[in-house]
Structure 1
Amino acid sequence: MSPIQRKDFLVFLRKMSKKGFYEVLNYVYEKKSVHYNEVLNYVLDKKIVDSRASVTIALNGLTNLGLLERTVTNARPIRTNYQVSKTGHQIIKNLRDLEAVFSK
């Protein structure tokens, strides 16, 4: 692994370790396609994060990492929809495999 690849990997790990990132990615993966308010209600009800701002940070972070795809509808009401990207599907599979190793 080159130094640049290693740095990118370490940045990825740091971001994924932030509060709510894994849970949000997993939730969107399970639901296939969700609106912002669905994610908001889920993570606040489960007490994964404490605020709307934290949900926005997690969704934006996952989108910036290329794990989620964000679509905004122009019709009224304007809605933001999230789906797991192709890369996100690969990552969630690997993270679940890793989680299974630690669950044994």
Structure 2
Amino acid sequence: MYECDGCGACCRSKLVDIYEVDTLRNPRIAEQMNPLREPGFDGEVGYLNCVSNGGCVFLRDDNRCGIYTTRPSACVVYEAGSDDCQQCRLDAGIPLLEPSAISLS
């Protein structure tokens, strides 16, 4: 089990799929996304380009999400410590995330 340490590597290096439900939950997402020219897979309507311009437009200076409670579904399900997470960290020159200490009490 891993716990996100807020390095922000994923928020600076991903294309984040945006779905209609994301834009309904937070209209600011629709304002910032790049719309798809053709309908996407399973309701996808666009993407946030977090690869350019220093990362996601919602990433704050402290590496925290400025829309955390209404962030895109793809961000909600992103797993700290996953292979993709670890690769983002490596690409950014950040040490791998270590497993969290497990309490047996």
Structure 1 and Structure 2 fold alike (TM over 0.5): no
TM bucket (normalised to shorter chain) is under 0.3
TM-score of the aligned structures, taking structure 1 as reference length: 0.27
Query: Which structure's relative contact order is higher, taking Cα pairs within 8 Å and 6+ residues apart?
Result: 2
TM-score of the aligned structures, taking structure 2 as reference length: 0.27
